Amino acid sequence: MTTKHKLHFALMCNRSNGGFDSAINLIDFLSAQFEICAWSLYGELYDGHAEMFESRGIPLLTAAPVPEINTGEHVFIYMNDYPAIFRNFSKQWQLQLNKAGSVQIGFNRTLGSLPLEDWLAGCLDKIYFLDTQMQSDWSSMVRNNQLSNVPTEVLPPPVILDTFLEIPSKKQEPIVFGRLAGDGAVPVNGIEFYQHLAAQHPEAEFWFMPAAEILVEAFADNPQFKFYNPNEISVNEFFTACDIYMLTYQDGVPIPGPRSLIEAMAASCAPIVVNREGPKDRVVHGVSGFCADTDDDFYQYAELLVTNSEFRTKISIAARERAQTFKAQHWIEKISYTILNAEKSLVE
């Protein structure tokens, strides 16, 4: 019988969001190869999260304030929002990670102060980013310290697509525009933007989850608009209803992934996304969706997709095919290789 190597997987369990879902996807894959011990990094557990780990037979421990490991064991940290407070516990992290056989970090939102933690260079084996912009920002910030020598990789969010690929091709009227992204990240002119779209397409519906407060206030009495609280309906239900995935975003706010874009594409939603790092890495403009630089671009592409059902179907099919090229397995291959290579080095 082969003994599995132990992997401590640290993640934020205090919210239910795309970052948490990505971490769970990684854990599900990695548990086939490694003995997983999960650590909740900060805050109270979100309702239902403890049961998710219990059903998987994976222990979920509370970091107090950081995970406790034994010499030679391996660590993967899926950061999510944690970089904002990492520096508060820097000494405790240093004590534990210096014992590790390997250490890997996945970023998906913010770098925080981690580029200043140059001691990490002595124990950190690999860093993963969701887009090239974050990788470039990291490189600029660590160019004068030893962290510049740590290998990095850019990978799309780790999404398991099976259930989204089972969603049937799009249906009858009305056309539904869906936005499943952060509620605070809508453009500053969001009200005017969606007023224009609603007037341009009076038979269409506009679905949001979570619901941005400024849009709820503006369109609460407009029957074209439907607003959902986080997890009020499942992501599958949301994308089953949607024909067009429209990702607008506030200027200057990093776009984490986005995971929901890959899910929408797998569900055969035709995407129109802001032309920025992350979304533009997923959508091949004019083939599997559209990347918009201006509001007028969004309006133009929306008109094209709404009024030409055959073309919309063609784009949605290409989007589904494109989504299937983004495989969570790529993460597992990279993470596993790093761990097994570290084990080999210890033996030698």
The model's confidence at residue 171, banded by pLDDT at 50, 70 and 90, is: low
pLDDT at 1 over 60: no
Rounded-to-integer distance, Cα 315 and Cα 313, Å: 5
- The pLDDT assigned to 95 comes to 97
In the chain, what are the domains?
A: 5-158+328-347 (3.40.50.2000), 162-323 (3.40.50.2000)
Rounded average pLDDT over 19-26: 94
The model's confidence at residue 170, banded by pLDDT at 50, 70 and 90, is: low
Rounded-to-integer distance, Cα 30 and Cα 28, Å: 6
The model's confidence at residue 222, banded by pLDDT at 50, 70 and 90, is: very high
Average pLDDT taken over every residue of the chain: 93
- The pLDDT assigned to 290 comes to 98
Written as one string, the DSSP assignment of 38-85 is EEE-SSSPPTTHHHHHHHHT--EEE-SSS----TT-EEEEE-TTTHHH
Burial class (CB in 10 A: 0-12, 13-18, 19+), 84: middle
Token reading at 85: 């407070």
Q: Are 11 and 40 in contact (CB under 8 A)?
A: yes
Amino acid making up residue 186? V
pLDDT at 220 over 80: yes
- The pLDDT assigned to 348 comes to 59
- The pLDDT assigned to 168 comes to 83
pLDDT at 43 over 70: yes
Rounded-to-integer distance, Cα 34 and Cα 2, Å: 11
Tell me which of 13-17, 79-83, 251-255 is least confident: 251-255
Token reading at 143: 């160019």
The per-residue pLDDT for range 278-316, each reduced to its tens digit, is: 899 999 999 999 999 999 999 999 999 999 999 999 999
Rounded-to-integer distance, Cα 77 and Cα 127, Å: 10
Of 54, 63, 87, 69, give the one whose Cα is nearest residue 12. 63
Rounded average pLDDT over 157-183: 86
- The pLDDT assigned to 34 comes to 96
The arrangement of strands across the sheet holding 270-274 comes to 225-227, 205-208, 176-179, 244-247, 270-274, 290-292
**The whole model's pTM is what?**
0.88
- The pLDDT assigned to 172 comes to 66
% pLDDT > 90, the chain: 82
Rounded-to-integer distance, Cα 114 and Cα 147, Å: 10
Where is pLDDT greater, at 58 or 168? 58
* DSSP H or E stretch at residue 320: helix 309-323
Q: Which residues pair with 244 in a beta bridge?
A: 177, 270
The model's confidence at residue 242, banded by pLDDT at 50, 70 and 90, is: very high
